[in-house]
Amino acid sequence: MRRIVCIVAVLFLAGLAGGVYLYDTYSDTRVETSRWLSSSLDNVVSVHVLSPEGSYSLFAKGDTWKADVPGASWNVRAHVKPNRVREYISYLADLTPDKYIADVDQDGPESYGLNDPKFKVILNFTGKTDGQLVIKFTVGETGRVFGWNSRNPGMVYEFDGKTLERLALPALHFLDDYIFRFDEELVDRVQLVQPFGSSWLVEKGESGFIFKLPGYLKGKQASGSDLKLYVHSLALIRAKQLILEPVVIDKEMPTLTVRVWGKGGKNHSVEFFPYEDSPDVFMGVSSWLTMPFLVDAQSVAQMVKSAFDIQSRTVMALDIGTVDRVVIDHGEARFTVERSDTGWRLRGTENDIPGIDMSLWRITNLKFEALPLNNLSKTAVALMHCRLLDADGKLLKAMTFYADPELPQGQCWMKSEDGMYYPVSSRLLKDLQGMFPAIRSNKRQ
């Protein structure tokens, strides 16, 4: 009797262990099959999408991605934003089903409409063992989304009704819409061409950008800071709309052409043309974008810069550290200010004059607001003469300021040592007038 009890106990324990094993195996299988995708999507090299929004293919080419978009009368191959592709693949891989239906037979998915799906994705991978992954989605009568994938063909997954909102995207969602693509730091030549306006060409040399065109500015310095800002603004301009269907463009005379060269001579160009008699929109053709595009008139206006706008308009160069004495003649009064241990001191007094360093800095940053003249207007009146001297009394710079009612508000004339009269901001003059008023005795200090 005792022997029978022992045998029964052994059989019971064996059965229990087998049950536990089968349960664990079943649980592992269920977890595996309910994970939606049983392996990662790290090595995807192409994505083919078929949805109500149209069909297109995204494929990796070197370090970039491109798209093939079939059209009604032509096919488009375009540059793609890689981050958009990565986000799309990541979202697809991270989907979490609300329910799963296991052990469907071969015809099972058809009962969920997956034989004729509303949405289909085919992914290809770099590794030969990964093969091809086919994913299908359809929307049920209740609005729920059912999904199927070829890695778990015996499973159907149920998702939230909003799942397809981030998957059924048009091709335009992925296409690059920046009209230029270049490395701003490598730009060494820029050209702007207008048929009825200012055109220019600048090229980077050892001392910065130099004008090649127009002829009257050839060899003159261009403003490096203004050009850097201009190039940066070009790199940020995006198309308002990409045109995937063929259009007829009259390329005889573009309204505006902008060209940018990088080191090595690579040319990036954009041309703009009038669009259907619409003054608010221009059609563009770019060496980067492979299809025509539309840009609003304001963006085009931002690209229009005259040669005057980008030339170096600094009136004079000055090493502030060499200035030891400033002599101001304002009206009948003369003021001499000398550098001291405590700052700048008015000669013959113990009074320090604040603001001289700022005024010297403003002198070095004075820019002419319009083309300089050889002869001064008859309406101009001299207001102040300023001389800058070094420690030995040698003249470094001299300038005379004039008021003129014919100038725009906020401007005055400044005569430089080259004898030319430059229209400049009157802010410096007003600062000096405030520090050295003309209403005082005729005694010169």
DSSP state of 104: -
- pLDDT at res. 344: 96
Q: What is the pLDDT of residues 150-165, one digit of tens each?
A: 988 888 999 999 999 9
Question: DSSP state, 406?
Answer: T
Tokens encoding 15: 């059965």
93 has pLDDT over 70? yes
Alpha helices in 34-131 (DSSP H): 82-93
Least confident interval from 38-42, 225-229, 328-332 = 38-42
Averaged pLDDT score across all residues of the chain: 88
pLDDT > 90 in the chain, percent: 69
Neighbouring-strand partners of residue 369: none
Quote the pLDDT of residue 398: 96
Question: At residue 28, does pLDDT exceed 50?
Answer: no
pLDDT in tens, 274-293: 988 888 999 999 999 999 99
> How much is the pLDDT for 12?
52
Q: What is the pLDDT of residue 250?
A: 74
Q: What is the pLDDT of residue 42?
A: 86
What pLDDT sits at residue 8?
43
Residue 32 predicted with pLDDT over 60: no
Looking at residue 380, what is its pLDDT? Answer: 97
pLDDT at 25: 38
Mean pLDDT of 91-99: 93
Q: What's the mean pLDDT in 34-45?
A: 83
- pLDDT at residue 432 is higher than 70: yes
Measured CA distances, 393 to 317, 322, 388, 389 (Å): 19, 11, 9, 5
Rg of the chain, C-alpha, whole Å:
37
Q: How far apart are CA 381 and CA 386, in angstroms?
A: 15
CA distance 250 to 285: 11
d(CA 44, CA 65): 11
pLDDT of 291-347, one tens digit each? 999 999 999 999 999 999 999 999 998 999 999 999 999 998 999 999 999 999 999
Mean pLDDT of 247-270: 89
Of 444, 408, 445, 414, which Cα lies nearest the Cα of 429?
Answer: 414
pLDDT-above-70 percentage for the chain: 88
Q: Cα separation of 203 and 219, whole Å?
A: 10
- Please state the domain extents for the chain: 1-33, 44-173, 184-310, 320-435
SS3 content of the chain, % helix, strand, coil (to 5): 25, 35, 40
Q: What is the mean pLDDT of residues 37-60?
A: 91
Q: Do 202 and 177 meet the contact criterion of CB atoms below 8 Å apart?
A: no
Tell me what the mean pLDDT of segment 53-75 comes to: 87
* Tokens (6 digits) for 204: 């980077």
* Cis before 279? omega within 30: no
What span, in angstroms and rounded, lies between the C-alpha atoms of 340 and 357? 12
Q: Is the peptide bond before 109 cis (omega within 30 degrees of 0)?
A: no
Q: Which residues of 184-203 are buried (b: 16+ CB within 10 A; e: fewer)?
A: eeebebbbbbeeeeebbbbe
Confidence band of 248 (pLDDT split at 50, 70, 90): confident
CA 30 to chain centre: 48
Short-list 137, 127, 113, CA closest to 51 = 137
Segment 388-404 mean pLDDT: 96
Amino acid at 283: M
List, for residues 165-208, the tens digit of each pLDDT value: 989 999 999 999 999 999 999 999 999 999 988 999 999 999 99
pLDDT for the residue numbered 17:
47
At 65, list the tokens: 């991605």
340 exposure class (CB count in 10 Å sphere: 0-12, 13-18, 19+):
exposed
